[in-house]
Structure formats: C-alpha cells, structure tokens
A and B are shown apart, each in its own frame.
Chain A
C-alpha cells in the first residue's frame, strides 16, 4: 500500500502533559500499525524509543570502528617513530617497547571512539536541521520544557487525515494538532 501524498500536511501531533499517557499512546499507535511516527519529550522517557519501534542503528558499529582505528593508529604511530623513523636505545630496551606504548594506545582508542560517537551520532540523526515542520505547531516550543508530543507522519501508509485524527483523539491527548509544512 503506497502512502497517499499529503502535500500540505506533515502529520498529526497529539499533545500530552504527562509521560504515562504519551507512552501508552505510543504503544497503542505502534500496535495499531503506525510506523512513521516520532515522539518528543523534554526528559528521557524509559521505553519510549522502543514503543515507537526504534530499532538499533549503526552507531555502535561506528564507535567500535573508531575505537579500532584509534587503537591501531595510536600503536602504529609510536611503533613507527620508535622503530623505523628515529630508533633510540633507551636503557638497552628493545626499540619496539610495546608495554610502554599501551597507555597512549589506550588513550587514542578512547579519543577516537568518543569522537566517532559524537560525529557518528550527528551524521546518523541528520542534525543540524535548521527547518523542521513540527515547529509550525505553536505549542511545540513546550516540548523542551513541560509538554510531550507524539507525531504520526502523513507518509505513513496507514495515515488518513480523518481516521488518524479520530484515532489519536481516542488516545487521551490534551490536544491534536495538524502539522503543516
């Protein structure tokens, strides 16, 4: 089933004043078959990401790859400078004094893993985003303070302007807003 295009409508947004009803609504919407939706909250809500069907993304793999690059890169830099580029006899120890390289190797691992976590997160979540339709809803500014929102997008195959609105109103919201482009 192809979604019906709604050129003027990004989606419908239900507004809540508490986390409990939001979580409940998100679960019911997911159970009803909605997949293209998003939830907004000023505080982390345990289980909300799972409730709207958030699956794992590639970020752990990105961080792991960054850690590996930092690990081998850090070790390689020290090995290269101590063994190939500028070998120095220090107290009769071998040039490849690997135990002495481990603290730096650890540090570069952590550094590269955390940098890839930050930049990988930004790359995967699509930030920075100067314009987003949800900001057209007037009360949405409270999403960063005291209100909670569940937005069902119009490109969801199950979306229907009238039926979805009725469905959302049945989930006990304070209000249901139309989100225009």
Chain B
C-alpha cells in the first residue's frame, strides 16, 4: 500500500486559487451592496450563508454514520468530509454580518415596531429575542467546532497503527451520542436561522427537512471532489466502479430522504389547510415561486432518482459527477426557495446581491475547504487494503 500522501491534487490546487479570488471579489461585491442597500444585501447574504453552512453541516452526519457503520464507501470521501466539517469556525466568523444585521433580516420578531401587531409573535418573545438568539447561535458553533476538532483529531490518530485501536474505540462509542446532539443542534438552528423569518409559522419536521438537504448536498459535493480525480488519488481503487456504485446508491437514498421530508411537510400542511400553517406554502406557490417548486421536484428528485436507478450512471465518474453538480445547484435553489419568499411573498425576485453573496461566501468556503483538505493524507490510514484480484476480461 502507498504511504500517506499529503497535499492537494494539482487540479484542486488551481481550483483553490480561483475560489479564493472569486470569494474575495464576491465579498467586495457584498460590501458595495451593503453600501447601496443594506437590508437587501443582508437578506441575500443569509441565502448564501445558509447554503454553504449547510454543506459544512451536512458533513457531520456522514462522518459520524461512517464511524458507526464502517464500509468501503466512506474511505474515499471521509477526508473531504472532515475538511468540510472543519470549516465551521470560519462559518462562525462569517455569521457576524448576520448577527449585526439581525433587525434587517429577522425584523418579523426582532423589530419592536413590527412585533407590536402580532400577539402570537409577542408570546414567543422568551425564545425569539436578540440576546437569546445570539447566545444560541454561539452555542451551536461552539458545539460544532468541538465536534469537528474531535472528529479530525481522532481520525488522524487512526492513521497511526499505534493509536488506531484507541481512537476507533472512542469514535465507535461517542459517534452515536454526537449524532443525536448534532440533530438537535441543526433542528434548533433551522428554527432560528430560517423558520423564524416567518415567526407565526411552525413545522416540526423543518429541522430534518433542512438536514436532509444538507446531507444530500454535502455528499454530492464530496462525490464531485473525489469521483473525477481517480488518477490523482493515492488509492484509485477507492473510487473504482464498485465503490462509486455504493456512493451512487447512497446518493439515491439521500435524494429519496430529501423528497420524503419535503413531501411529509407539504402533505401534512396541505391536508390540514390551517390558517397558521398554509400561508407558508401559499407564499411559495404563486408569482413565479411555483415554478421554482416544480423545478425542485423535477431536478432534485425525479431526474436524480431515475438517473441513479441505472447502474451504469453510478459506475461512471463523469456521469455521477455531473448528477452531483446538478444536486448541489438545485440545493442552492432549494435554499433560495426556503428563505426568499419570506421577504417577497408571492412574487419571485432575484436581487443581484444574491449571486454575489453566494459566490463570495462560497469562494471563501471552498478555498478554506481545499486548504484544510491539503493538510491531511487524502485517504484515511485505516482504509481497507485493495483487493488482490482484478476482474480481467470479465467486463
């Protein structure tokens, strides 16, 4: 077996520099946007922020599940996932503009003049107030940072045969409880950062709904990173057709999970047809938003579902990567559809600040992610040895 290889694949090194430049340009654009229209810029920033933080957060359950279940599928993507999780302190830093612009974004409950008219929202004040909101967010970031550091440190200890057994025991014991805590943290964060944009509305499945999108997107993103770079990997057997097939099958499962969570929420609210619930969908089903919804159903569920049923599509790195990029893009649209109709109900809008913020935060996130990825061996040391035999002539 080849020894641990540190350092990024050359193609990723180029991507890192491009991403950094794009990120800095995007952030400059956000600065200009803020000078022109602070409210709009902050709201657009929230979209980009939730999308990229979502990818970082989606890495956690995947790492934890792999520590719990094991399996060949995880070794190709685990180091990228760990690097993704380790970007959380950066996302805590990028949260600062949201914390400062809390009244512009969350005016529905943070702005006293708006709140006076809503008895329901007023009653939620013990939870939805600026101080507690910021404390909670700080708590989430503290938890995720500790978890990311812990996962990365123990995973590096697994690389060393002397410390491998102990690290694996710790990971096996605490990955389950950590996963439980993570689900709670994401659920609360989803309530705080997205659901509270419309403080009269509530949905108990919203946390799992957001999390299923995060996991799906993080997984698709990491497939996009590893699948097309087989020749640059120290262990090309980990992205051979068979392991890729496993990754494709899991991607199919996450596509279905995402659709399941979304349909569950829609079906229950649509059937109940209650005045405190249904407006959330009504805002998202007219004025152009309905076409975004249709696009999500078609391109984030039906098309990936049908493509991933077919074996050849899962075994081809190019096809799997193409589908993964579609899923990542559609999740950006999905994040937009979750957030923006709260500000512009019943009328589709696209402010120029939105793509600028997505590129700005994304560029910085990707360059940080690639920098972190380049600092560790690309393949965990405890990955199973490649199988001795090969299928000569069988295909």
Contacts and interface: CB of A to CB of B under 8 A. Distances in A.
B204 to A, nearest CB: 18
Interface in A1-41: 23, 27, 30-31
A126 interface: no
Given A60-B311, A64-B309, A102-B263, A51 B270 contact: no
Contacts of A56: 311
B389 interface: yes
Contacts of B267: 99-100, 102-103
B394 A50 contact: yes
A51 B271 contact: no
Interface residues of B, number: 14
Contacts of B270: 99-100
Nearest to B266: A99
A64 B311 CA distance: 13
Interface of A: 23, 27, 30-31, 47, 50-51, 53, 56, 60, 64, 91, 93, 99-100, 102-103
The list of the 5 closest CB pairs from A to B, nearest first, reads A50-B394, A99-B270, A99-B267, A50-B391, A31-B393
A165 B392 CA distance: 24
Given A47-B389, A99-B263, 10 more contacts: A23-B389, A50-B391, A56-B311, A60-B309, A60-B311, A91-B273, A99-B270, A99-B271, A100-B270, A103-B267
B126 to A, nearest CB: 35
Given A99-B266, A99-B267, A100-B267, A93 B394 contact: no
Contact of A30 (B266, B309, B311, B394): B394
Contact of A53 (B271, B311, B394): B394
Contacts of A27: 392-394
A67 B143 CA distance: 44
A25 B72 CA distance: 27
B395 interface: yes
Contacts of A93: 273
Interface of B: 263, 266-267, 270-271, 273, 309, 311, 389, 391-395
A53 B393 CA distance: 9
Nearest to A53: B394
B216 to A, nearest CB: 19
B27 to A, nearest CB: 41
B309 A47 contact: no
Nearest to A47: B391
A25 B273 CA distance: 66
A3 B394 CA distance: 23
Contacts of A99: 263, 266-267, 270-271
Nearest to A20: B389
Nearest to A50: B394
A50 B392 contact: no
A50 B391 CA distance: 8
B282 to A, nearest CB: 14
Nearest to A63: B309
A102 B309 CA distance: 20
Contacts of A60: 309, 311
A23 to B, nearest CB: 7
Contacts of B266: 99
A100 B389 contact: no
A60 B393 CA distance: 24
A51 B263 CA distance: 44
A47 B273 contact: no
16 contacts: A30-B393, A30-B394, A31-B392, A47-B389, A50-B394, A51-B391, A56-B311, A60-B309, A60-B311, A64-B309, A91-B273, A99-B263, A99-B266, A99-B270, A99-B271, A102-B267
A51 B273 contact: no
A116 to B, nearest CB: 14
B271 A50 contact: no
B394 A51 contact: yes
Q: Which of A23, A27, A56, A93 has the most CB of B within 10 A?
A: A27
B105 to A, nearest CB: 31
Contacts of B392: 27, 31
Contacts of B393: 27, 30-31
A53 B395 CA distance: 8
Nearest to A51: B394
